[in-house]
Amino acid sequence: MHKHLTKFASAIAVAASLAAGSSVHAQEEPIKIGAIYIFSGVAATYGEFAQRGADLAVEEINASGGVLGRPLEITYEDSQIKAQTAIQAMRKLVYQEEVDVLMGLDSSGVATGVVPIVPEVQTPFIITHAATPDVTGKLCNEWTYRVSVNINQNVKGAATMAAETDAQTWTTVGPDYAFGRQSWDFFQQYLGELNPDAEFSDSPSFPAFGTEDFTPFINAVIDAQPDGVFVSLWGGDLVNFIRQASDLGFFEQDFEVIMSLGAATEVLSALGDQMPEGVTVGTRYWYAGPDNPTNDAFVKAYRERHGTPPSYNAQNAYAAVYAYKNAIETAGEVDKAAIRDALSGMTFQAPIGEVTFREGDHQAVVGPAYGVTRDDPDSEIAMLEPLRLLAGEDVTPAVEDTGCNLAQ
């Protein structure tokens, strides 16, 4: 359904191009975007939501005349949560589909495999989901950008929330790969800076990605009785964890619970009224948070098409398409190197707010949202109240601390 799916220009635009002769036809050839997301397996919902956001942006831009008078066209490939599969998809998009730009990647593990290969294909690549700091850190390169909140930014928000509680002893439950382990490392670093008295478990829980039975991990935390639990599970794993934890009385214990991605609308939609109230949860974009006309229009258009509020993955993909539009218009051409250079240091308006790609590491300066779950009979998902929108400037490490400095 998703693989090789392409959005083409309208029939009117094509007919006009054919009628006007070869020179005009060349001018109106589509600008091609290649997108790589998860479209199969336990995390396929994330690819679906990203596609919704990207398609919406493409439709809006084409309806307004395209970019430099040319329509956008987007082709999707399934990463299957495998780095080698994603690399093959990237090469296919560049060399066979001849795309002008690339976007996507959901898994941190996949991203660390793909990003070192991006300079080989010499095509601008905006990451819209994968959060490992390495892709705008020690693995950074001039062709790779990230428009979304990374682990540092998201976990600094979690640590900020944790520091405002009375909890002193903390443990974690997170996926057993780079994302979960890096999340725990940064949580300890940031909370340790904010609360020097904080103590951290030397036996954290890291269930394998795709675990079906979380009972041993849940019981281990309950038996340990920490003051606080930091949970970095995501997607289907987090949904299963919450359901099983509720059955085992996890949320009735006397400890703080902070879930760094518990407010992802994919998770909240899947859980419905099974989402416990009073839990601190985070997300990389909360649709009801940003107060700006771009977000208002995005949420309205998304709801009209899909009947649900947009997720952070939808917003990130939507923002990436508009980032490319802005970069192409700034460069005045579709040359790949010109687009790459135009993105560096560029500021543009996205639903989440004003976004800037730093010159030094190509990381967007953006912040997460955190809040406390509350049931709302007028909403299809749990709401966050109170809601905290953390500023990108407050949660983004300095370039010199990332292991990357492209501005030198």
Domain boundaries, the chain: 6-149+290-366, 152-283+367-395
Question: What is the separation, in whole angstroms, between the first and last Cα of the chain?
Answer: 44
The pLDDT value given to residue 273: 92
The pLDDT value given to residue 28: 83
The pLDDT value given to residue 378: 87
The pLDDT value given to residue 215: 98
Domain range 6-149+290-366, CATH class: alpha beta
- Looking at residue 374, its amino acid is R
For residues 11 and 179, give the distance between their C-alpha atoms in angstroms, rounded to a whole number.
44
- Looking at residue 187, its amino acid is F
For residues 177 and 249, give the distance between their C-alpha atoms in angstroms, rounded to a whole number.
27
For residues 375 and 70, give the distance between their C-alpha atoms in angstroms, rounded to a whole number.
46
The pLDDT value given to residue 27: 53
What are the CA-CA distances from residue 396 to residues 104, 133, 151, 389 (Å)? Answer: 21, 11, 10, 14
Q: How many CB atoms lie under 10 A from the CB of residue 303?
A: 13
For residues 221 and 278, give the distance between their C-alpha atoms in angstroms, rounded to a whole number.
19
- Token pair listed for 384: 């966050």
DSSP string, 215-244: HHHHHHHHHH--SEEEE---HHHHHHHHHH
Q: Which CATH superfamily is domain 152-283+367-395 in?
A: Response regulator (3.40.50.2300)
Which of 234, 183, 236, 231 is closest to 212 using CA atoms?
236
Residues sharing a CB contact under 8 Å with residue 221, sequence separation 6 or more, in sequence order = 171, 173, 205, 229, 250
The pLDDT value given to residue 16: 38
Q: What is the pTM of this model?
A: 0.90
Q: What is the dihedral of CA 60, 62, 68, 73, to 10 degrees?
A: 110
For residues 317 and 152, give the distance between their C-alpha atoms in angstroms, rounded to a whole number.
20
For residues 384 and 74, give the distance between their C-alpha atoms in angstroms, rounded to a whole number.
34
The pLDDT value given to residue 174: 98
Please name every residue paired with 205 in a beta bridge, in sequence order, or none if there are none: 173
pLDDT tens, position by position, 265-304? 989 999 999 999 999 999 999 999 999 999 999 999 999 9
SS3 of residue 41 by DSSP = coil
> Which residue numbers in the chain have pLDDT < 50?
1-26
The pLDDT value given to residue 336: 98
pLDDT tens, position by position, 247-273? 999 999 999 999 999 999 989 999 999
